[in-house]
């Protein structure tokens, strides 16, 4: 083993691997692993019966169902329309393209509270958009639909920025070859282009989902925050902390962590399978 390690070190052309690896592990440990481990240890200290009682509380279940359900819907919407936006930005040259490209990144830079206030003013019953939806019986602000709108807004750039470079790498000769072999436009899109984009789409979907699940600032203004109706899990954690109910906050956070980890793990497995199946990296 020692001889193999020496041989491997001699073959490396980049110096400082040991130092950089140690710094990486220490940094990830302090920033990511230690806080998550503290949450797990704190929740384990509650005991199984107490943890189950707190986690299965109807208000907690309603908040978790709304948070993950709205995040799934928002990520799915962005997986479709984010890919369409990336397609337009990569494949076409038009006036204002650079401006449109810059607008995509606004949710990254805009404070989430500002985004929440802006969306609420737009979709409130007397807002610019809400005043037209209200007569149709469509209520967006102060309802679960408003949460989906806010989560879609904040998670859009993750899909666009993930799909865009992969789409640019796809050789257009493949499409021309498919056309010369008699493939229709529909067959070219769904049998040549879409399979190549699947790994990147799954990556963008996972990032958008993770961003949406933990979103707080942009949601609290537009949601209405009505228990059992439009109350998200991150807000419930804050409410438990303000009530000095640290055990309840810990239980909700631990359940969120477990569900998010399982979902991201499954998505990563699908992404690895699709990369092996279709051959394009994300």
pLDDT in tens, 188-236: 888 888 888 888 888 899 889 988 988 888 898 888 888 998 899 999 9
Q: Quote the CA–CA distance of 88 and 164 in Å, as a whole number.
A: 10
Q: Which two tokens stand for residue 264?
A: 């991201």
Instruction: Compute the average pLDDT of residues 246-258.
Output: 89
Q: Quote the CA–CA distance of 155 and 11 in Å, as a whole number.
A: 42
Q: Quote the CA–CA distance of 106 and 234 in Å, as a whole number.
A: 23
Record the pTM: 0.85
Q: Please give the helix or strand (H or E) that residue 169 lies within, else none.
A: helix 144-169
Q: Is residue 8 predicted with pLDDT exceeding 70?
A: no
Query: Dihedral angle at the C-alpha atoms of 204, 207, 209, 210, nearest 10 degrees?
Result: 170
Percent of the chain with pLDDT over 70: 93
Q: Quote the CA–CA distance of 166 and 163 in Å, as a whole number.
A: 5
Q: Which two tokens stand for residue 15?
A: 């110096």
Contact 232, 279 (CB under 8 A): no
Residues with Cβ within 8 Å of 83's Cβ and at least 6 positions away in sequence, in order, are 159, 163, 197, 201, 204
1-15, 69-83, 177-191: least confident range:
1-15
pLDDT in tens, 89-131: 998 899 989 999 899 988 888 888 888 899 999 998 888 898 8
Strands, E assignment, the chain: none
pLDDT in tens, 11-70: 666 777 778 888 888 998 888 888 888 888 888 888 888 888 888 899 999 999 999 999
Instruction: Compute the average pLDDT of residues 169-177.
Output: 80
Q: Is residue 1 predicted with pLDDT exceeding 60?
A: no
Instruction: Compute the average pLDDT of residues 155-162.
Output: 92
Confidence class of residue 79 from pLDDT cuts 50, 70 and 90? very high
Q: What is the pLDDT of residue 280?
A: 55
Contact 112, 151 (CB under 8 A): no
């Amino acid at each position: 083993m020692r001889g193999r390690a020496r041989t491997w070190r001699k073959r490396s052309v980049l110096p400082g691997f040991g130092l950089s690896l140690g710094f990486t592990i220490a940094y990830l440990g302090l920033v990511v692993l230690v806080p998550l481990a503290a949450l797990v240890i704190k929740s384990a200290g509650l005991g199984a019966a107490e943890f189950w009682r707190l986690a299965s509380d109807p208000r907690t279940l309603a908040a978790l169902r709304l948070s993950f359900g709205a995040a799934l819907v928002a990520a799915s919407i962005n997986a479709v329309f984010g890919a369409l936006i990336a397609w337009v930005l990569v494949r076409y040259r038009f006036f204002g393209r650079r401006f449109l490209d810059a607008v995509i990144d606004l949710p990254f830079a805009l404070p989430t509270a500002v985004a929440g206030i802006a969306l609420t003013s737009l979709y409130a019953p007397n807002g610019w958009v809400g005043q037209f939806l209200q007569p149709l019986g469509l209520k967006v602000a102060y309802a679960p639909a408003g949460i989906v709108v806010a989560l879609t807004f904040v998670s859009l750039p993750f899909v666009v920025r993930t799909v865009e470079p992969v789409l640019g790498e796809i050789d257009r000769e493949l499409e021309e070859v498919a056309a010369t072999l008699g493939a229709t436009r529909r067959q070219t899109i769904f049998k040549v282009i879409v399979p190549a984009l699947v790994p990147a789409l799954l990556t963008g979907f996972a990032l958008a989902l993770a961003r949406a699940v933990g979103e707080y600032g942009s949601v609290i203004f537009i949601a209405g925050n009505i228990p059992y109706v439009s109350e998200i899990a991150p807000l419930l954690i804050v409410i438990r902390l303000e009530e000095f109910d640290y055990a309840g906050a810990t239980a909700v956070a631990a359940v969120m962590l477990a569900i998010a980890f399982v979902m991201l793990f499954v998505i990563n497995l699908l992404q690895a399978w699709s990369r092996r199946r279709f051959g394009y990296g994300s």
